[in-house]
Amino acid sequence: MCGIVGIFKFGSVHPEITENLIENMRDRMTHRGPDDAGVYISPDGRIGLGHRRLSIIDLSASGRQPMPNEDNTIWISFNGEIYNHRRLRKELVDKGHIYFSETDTETLVHLYEERGLDFVQPLEGMFAIALWDSNEERLVLVRDRLGVKPLYYIQIPGQILFASEIKALLAHPAVVRDINEEALYHYLTFLTTPAPQTLFRGIEKLPAGHMLVCESNGRVKVTRYWDAIVPSPTEEYSEE
């Protein structure tokens, strides 16, 4: 497993996003990625991404994250594994995309370049993805179809924060540690909290099979990109 974390600032809030802040949040999840660590902060200071790496595919430094595309307009921080990335890679190479690593992470970057928000549709695997598109000025968060990989987020004035674990969000000085009493009731009753709730008020988990898009004006939209196939009534399968 790996750990991802980030901040998108869409308002004129202070303090600024600093490398030290991202590192402090990121390193609350050192156990998720002991092999490497990285930080990216955009030149305009609006986005900060962090990553803790557990090397699985392409163990070289070429797999370091956050990872950009060729012109640094798209950056990604990714936790998981894309099982069909070899087939997707071949399709993308045939369309002219150039690779600099053997990672499935780079396939996600090129796939987004090719398909935009529909890049998630052909993916097979387990994943939590954070992608910054500077051309469209939007943050994209995606969680795999069955919710194998975790992804949490919180909206605070002028900012949205996200991470693989809640404790990384709690490391941000503006996040208040208030208990969500309704979620606590569910946990004490069922030993789980239904998505999108968590035990902390304001912190939500992105549901399985969902995508979150945060625009530069602060508008946040969460949509379902996948749902299980609903079985047809048994009558349709009965013999006449």
- Beta strand 74-82 with 67-68: parallel, antiparallel or unpaired? antiparallel
Q: At 108, which amino acid appears? A: L
The residues facing 125 across adjacent strands are 82
* Pairwise CA distance, residues 15 & 43, whole Å: 16
214 is known as an active-site residue:
no
Selecting among 2, 5, 126, 171, the annotated active-site residue is: 2
Q: Is 20 helix (H, G, I), strand (E, B) or coil?
A: helix
Residues 6+ apart with CB under 8 A from 235: none
Q: Is 165 helix (H, G, I), strand (E, B) or coil?
A: coil
Active site residues: 2
